[in-house]
Structure 1
Amino acid sequence: MKPILLLIFIFTFYSYQGQSRNIVNPEKIENPIQKKYSGKIVFLTQNIALENLKDSDFLTSSVFQENGDLGIHAFFDNSLVNYLHQLEPSWTIDELLKKGNYQFSFYVDGKLIYKENLNTGAGTPDSKKIKTSLRIPLVSSKNEDSWGRYLWMRFYMAHNGIDALTAGNHILKIEIRPYLNTGTIKTGPVIAEGQINLTVPSQNIPEQQIALQPIHSNSGWKVSQEKINKETIRNLNKKIAENRFKNITGVVVIKEGKLLLEEYFNGSGRDSLQDTRSVGKSFSSALTGIAIKDGYLKSENQNLKEFYDLKPFKNYASQKDNVTIKSLLTMSSGFDGNDENYESPGNEENMYPTENWIKFILDLPMTENTIGKNWSYFTAGVVLTGDILDKKVPQGLEKYADKKLFQPLGITNYKWQFTPQQKPSLAGGLRMKTLDFAKFGQLYKNNGVWNGKTILSKDWIKKSFTNYFTDNPDFEGYGYLFWRKVYTVGNKSYEAFQSSGNGGNKIIIFIQIPVVIVITAQAYNKPYAHQQSEKIVQDYLLPSLKMSNENQ
Structure 2
Amino acid sequence: MLKILPKSFAFFLLAIQYAAAQMPDLVKTDGIRNKIHQDNVGRIVFMARNIPIDSLSQKDFLKEYTLTKKSNLNIRVFLANSIINYQHNLAPSLSEEQLRTSGNYQFRFFVDDRLIYSENIHYGCGLKKSTTTTFRVPLTDTSGADFWSIYLFDRFKDNGGRQALTDGTHRFRIEMRPYLNIENASTPIVGDLIAKGELDLIIQTPPLPKNLIDVQKIKPSADFEIAASDCDTQKIKELNRQIALENFRQITSIVVVVKNGKLLLEEYFNGADRNTLHDTRSVGKSFTSAFMGMAISDGFIKNENQVLGDFYELRKFANYSDEKAKITLKDLLTMSSIFDGSDQNSESPGNEENMYPTDNWMKFALDLPIDPKKQKQKHWDYFTAGVVLLGDILDKSVADGLEKYADKKLFKPMGITDYKWEYTPQKVVNTAGGLRMNSLDLAKIGQLYQNGGLWKGKRILPKKWVDASLSSQLPIPDRDHEFYGYLFWNKTYKVGDKTYDVFYCAGNGGNKIFIFKDLPLTVVVTATAFNRPYAHPQVDTIMQEYVLPAVLKN
TM-score, structure 2 normalization: 0.89
Q: Does 1:197 align with 2:203?
A: no
Asked if the contact 2:256/2:263 (under 8 Å) is kept, the reply is yes
- Equivalent residue of 2:289, what SS? helix
| RMSD of aligned Cα (Å) | 2.5
**Any residues of structure 2 matched to 1:250-269 within 5 Å, and which?**
250-256=253-259, 257-269=261-273
Give deviations 1:159-184, integer Å, cap 9, x for gaps.
35344334332222222222333353
Give deviations 1:288-322, integer Å, cap 9, x for gaps.
12222233222222211111111121233333212
Asked if the contact 2:168/2:204 (under 8 Å) is kept, the reply is yes
Counterpart of 1:538 in structure 2 is: 544
Q: Tell me which moved more, 524-533 or 378-387.
A: 524-533
The letter of the residue matching 2:337 is S
Rounded to whole Å, the distance in 2 between the matches of 1:536 and 1:15 is 47
Rounded to whole Å, the distance in 1 between the matches of 2:456 and 2:325 is 41
Task: Figure out how many residues of one structure are paired with residues of the other and give that number.
Answer: 532
Rounded to whole Å, the distance in 2 between the matches of 1:413 and 1:144 is 34
Counterpart of 2:227 in structure 1 is: 224
Counterpart of 1:311 in structure 2 is: 315
Counterpart of 1:491 in structure 2 is: 497
Asked if the contact 1:168/1:202 (under 8 Å) is kept, the reply is no
Rounded to whole Å, the distance in 1 between the matches of 2:18 and 2:257 is 70
**Displacement of 1:544 after TM fit?**
0.6
Counterpart of 1:115 in structure 2 is: 118
Counterpart of 1:215 in structure 2 is: 218
Give deviations 1:57-112, integer Å, cap 9, x for gaps.
21111122322311111233332223333444433332222231222222233343
Asked if the contact 1:137/1:144 (under 8 Å) is kept, the reply is no
- Equivalent residue of 1:269, what SS? coil
Rounded to whole Å, the distance in 2 between the matches of 1:192 and 1:108 is 17
- Equivalent residue of 2:475, what SS? coil
Asked if the contact 1:179/1:185 (under 8 Å) is kept, the reply is no
Q: Which runs of 4+ in 1 moved over 4 A?
A: 14-19
Q: Does 1:417 align with 2:422?
A: yes
Asked if the contact 1:178/1:188 (under 8 Å) is kept, the reply is yes
Q: Does 1:140 align with 2:111?
A: no
Q: Tell me which moved more, 293-302 or 245-254.
A: 293-302
The letter of the residue matching 2:352 is E
Counterpart of 1:101 in structure 2 is: 104
Q: Does 1:241 align with 2:244?
A: yes
The letter of the residue matching 1:521 is A
Rounded to whole Å, the distance in 1 between the matches of 2:456 and 2:547 is 27
TM-score, structure 1 normalization: 0.89
Counterpart of 1:176 in structure 2 is: 176
**Displacement of 1:383 after TM fit?**
1.0
Long gaps (5+) in structure 1: 1-13
Counterpart of 2:351 in structure 1 is: 347
**Any residues of structure 2 matched to 1:19-418 within 5 Å, and which?**
20=23, 22-29=25-32, 31-124=34-127, 127-156=128-157, 158-182=158-182, 183=184, 184-186=186-188, 187-256=190-259, 257-370=261-374, 373-418=378-423
Q: Tell me which moved more, 496-505 or 370-379.
A: 370-379
The letter of the residue matching 1:472 is P
Q: Tell me which moved more, 130-139 or 84-93.
A: 84-93
Give deviations 1:341-375, integer Å, cap 9, x for gaps.
44433232332232221112212233223258233
Asked if the contact 1:96/1:180 (under 8 Å) is kept, the reply is yes
Rounded to whole Å, the distance in 2 between the matches of 1:15 and 1:172 is 26
- Equivalent residue of 1:130, what SS? coil
Distance of aligned partners of 1:320 and 1:217 in 2 relative to their CA distance in 1, 3 Å threshold: same
Give deviations 1:36-63, integer Å, cap 9, x for gaps.
4333211112333334433222111112
- Equivalent residue of 1:96, what SS? helix
Q: Tell me which moved more, 253-262 or 50-59.
A: 50-59
Distance of aligned partners of 1:94 and 1:324 in 2 relative to their CA distance in 1, 3 Å threshold: farther
Rounded to whole Å, the distance in 1 between the matches of 2:415 and 2:409 is 11
Rounded to whole Å, the distance in 2 between the matches of 1:136 and 1:147 is 9
- Equivalent residue of 1:128, what SS? coil
**Displacement of 1:457 after TM fit?**
3.0
Distance of aligned partners of 1:30 and 1:270 in 2 relative to their CA distance in 1, 3 Å threshold: closer
Asked if the contact 2:255/2:443 (under 8 Å) is kept, the reply is yes
Q: Does 1:431 align with 2:443?
A: no
Long gaps (5+) in structure 2: 1-16
Distance of aligned partners of 1:521 and 1:143 in 2 relative to their CA distance in 1, 3 Å threshold: closer
Q: Does 1:452 align with 2:453?
A: no
Rounded to whole Å, the distance in 1 between the matches of 2:318 and 2:105 is 41
**Displacement of 1:505 after TM fit?**
0.8
The letter of the residue matching 1:204 is P
The letter of the residue matching 2:134 is S
Give deviations 1:410-446, integer Å, cap 9, x for gaps.
2222221112222111111111121111111111122
Distance of aligned partners of 1:410 and 1:526 in 2 relative to their CA distance in 1, 3 Å threshold: same
